[in-house]
């Protein structure tokens, strides 16, 4: 009898603590950003802002930052829905395709936007990473952003051609996300407008560069640039004064802290 009671107690302890060992799942959209190119073998492969792309256009460094914090990274090649987002804690949508980038782009729709908003309301952490209007489909993407009082504009900031310093964005001394990173590099970005519950996170020269909005139990973060892909961290042209690597780590930490605690 004592043996069985001990086994039951051990089982209950495992059930109570198992929730704390669950990994945070970070899902990167591969549906609205769905670009392909031929590899050296002549085969078509997905590229551009993906976890797997090891070139300067990929997010492999960011993926490693999440993995180092015991988070799991995944890609979502299908449309967002309650079913496809189940199990996802952080959902990142980056650089939605235009018809110049893919032959049959998957555009945001009211139905997709509603499904994503419902997921956020239940505690999801949504990251919207746009681009300048020449390189991202913003009007339909704003169907989703508008759910949270956010809008990406057609105004382009930091159009870097040769002068790297044009991309400089300074962070205020006191900041909720960027504690040590004070000089960021962002180029060719769409500015943001906010209303309702949305608020600026980082401003520069009168423009909103980053913004966020609480929505139900969840939160939305918006930035008008794909930002911390590999090029922004390992680009040899960047001055050592730019601190995107530090900023990427601090941003990753902040996102993980926004995920509601999982119940045991």
Closest CA to 29 of 73, 86, 76, 61: 76
CA 255/CA 262 separation, integer angstroms: 15
Least confident of 20-24, 26-30, 161-165, 184-188: 20-24
Q: How confident is the model at residue 207 (pLDDT cuts 50, 70, 90)?
A: very high
User: pTM for the complete prediction?
Assistant: 0.89
Q: How confident is the model at residue 18 (pLDDT cuts 50, 70, 90)?
A: very low
Instruction: Tell me the per-residue pLDDT of 208-227, one tens digit each, with 9 for 90 and over.
Output: 999 999 999 999 999 999 99
CA R_g for the chain: 20
Burial status of residue 257 (CB atoms within 10 A of its CB: 0-12, 13-18, 19 or more): exposed
């Amino acid at each position: 009898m004592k043996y069985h009671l001990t086994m039951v107690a051990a089982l209950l302890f495992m059930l109570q603590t198992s929730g704390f060992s669950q990994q945070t799942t970070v899902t990167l959209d591969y549906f609205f950003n769905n670009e392909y190119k031929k590899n050296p073998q002549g085969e078509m492969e997905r590229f551009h802002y993906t976890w797997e792309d090891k070139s300067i256009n990929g997010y492999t460094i960011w993926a490693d930052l999440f993995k180092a914090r015991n988070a799991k990274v995944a890609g979502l090649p299908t449309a967002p829905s309650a079913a496809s987002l189940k199990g996802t804690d952080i959902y990142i949508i980056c650089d939605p395709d235009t018809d110049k980038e893919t032959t049959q782009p998957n555009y945001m729709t009211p139905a997709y936007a509603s499904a994503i908003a419902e997921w956020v309301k239940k505690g999801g952490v949504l990251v919207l990473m746009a681009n300048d209007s020449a390189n991202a489909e913003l009007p339909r993407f704003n169907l989703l952003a508008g759910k949270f009082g956010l809008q990406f504009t057609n105004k382009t900031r930091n159009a870097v051609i040769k002068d790297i310093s044009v991309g400089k964005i300074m962070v205020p001394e006191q900041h909720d996300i960027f504690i040590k990173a004070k000089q960021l590099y962002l180029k060719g970005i769409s500015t943001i407008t906010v209303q309702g519950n949305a608020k600026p996170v980082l401003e520069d020269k009168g423009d909103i560069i980053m913004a966020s909005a609480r929505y139900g139990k969840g939160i939305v973060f918006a930035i008008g640039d794909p930002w911390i892909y590999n090029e922004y961290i390992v680009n040899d042209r960047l001055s050592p004064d730019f601190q995107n690597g530090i900023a990427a780590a601090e941003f990753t930490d902040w996102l993980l802290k926004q995920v509601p605690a999982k119940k045991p």
